[in-house]
Amino acid sequence: MKGLRRRPTDAELAILRVLWTRGPSTVREVAEVMGREAGYTTILKLMQIMTEKRLVRRDEAARTHIYEAAYTEDQTQRHLVTDLLDRVFDGSAAKLVIQALAAGKTSPEELAEIRKLLREKVRGTESAGEDVRGAGAPGGNEDRRGRQ
């Protein structure tokens, strides 16, 4: 239970989703968005635990605390993908991509987008050889930021 970086649970992810779309929020606000997905105190407790785990940050200045996701959606997505890559794809991104495309119905627009991205990426890889950064991931998240 130490400061090991582990993956968020399903319930935690549900809360993070709200935090990502709404931005910094109170427990009540999160609870309202989630509807009857879970009770108020359940969400409160979860968010308290997430604070301990450093999954969210809490502003206790006012009586009603304000919570904020500690990691961006991009960072979390990347973390989770990396995890899945290691656990079941033997680290091969190609295999994962293949399954992702085989699994869901991907729209032609999405396919086009992916191809475009790949073209850019190939250019970058060929010239730089190793350095992979700089081609992808729209939304500006270059920071990789230390562990805990």
Partner DNA sequence: TTGACACTACGAAGAGCGTCGTAGATAATC
Partner DNA sequence: GATTATCTACGACGCTCTTCGTAGTGTCAA
What sign does the CA torsion over 88, 145, 148, 17 have? negative
Nearer to DNA (CB atom), residue 88 or residue 101: 88
Q: With binding defined as CB under 8 A, does residue 93 bind its own copies? A: yes
Query: Of these, 21, 41, 92, 106, which contacts DNA (CB under 7 A)?
Result: 41
Q: How far is the CB of 89 from DNA (least distance, A)?
A: 18
User: Length of the chain, please?
Assistant: 148
Instruction: Kindly indicate which of the ranges 38-46, 70-78, 88-96, 120-128 contains the residues binding DNA, using the contact rule CB under 7 A.
Output: 38-46
Instruction: Kindly indicate which of the ranges 22-30, 78-86, 98-106, 125-133 contains the residues binding DNA, using the contact rule CB under 7 A.
Output: 22-30
The token pair that represents 77 in the structure block:
């997505």
Q: How far is the CB of 130 from its own copies (least distance, A)?
A: 8
Q: How far is the CB of 63 from its own copies (least distance, A)?
A: 32
Give, in order, the Cα–Cα distances in Å from 72 to each of 64, 68, 77, 139. 23, 10, 9, 10
Nearer to DNA (CB atom), residue 28 or residue 133: 28
Rounded to the nearest 10°, the torsion over CA 38, 84, 21, 31 is 10
**Distance, CA of 145 to CA of 148 (rounded, Å):** 9
**Distance, CA of 76 to CA of 139 (rounded, Å):** 13
Write out the residues near DNA by the rule CB under 7 A. Answer: 1, 6, 9-12, 26-28, 38-42, 44-46, 48-49, 60, 63-65
